[in-house]
Amino acid sequence: MLRSRLVLGSKLVLERKLVHKQEQELRSKLVQELHSKLVQVHKQEQVLRSKQALEHRLVHMQEHMHQLCNG
């Protein structure tokens, strides 16, 4: 009886360790995926800001050219 309890207890400990390991692996995978998405969003924001800055400069250049042409 005592031996069967010890075996059952050992199995429970092993199962808990396995579950804990699986939880850690899943958590790590989710963190990696989230980090990857955040990096992607950050890059998209940089591209958008760069595009907006170029458009802003283009508008000013066009205004300047218009002033030069109209004297």
pLDDT at 70: 82
* 1-40: burial string, b at 16+ Cβ within 10 Å, e else: eeeeeeeeeeeeeeeeeeeeeeeeeeeeeeeeeeeeeeee
pLDDT at 68: 83
pLDDT at 1: 63
Per-residue pLDDT of the chain (71 residues; tens, 9 = 90+): 667 777 778 889 999 999 999 999 999 999 999 999 999 999 999 999 999 999 999 999 999 888 888 86
pLDDT at 4: 76
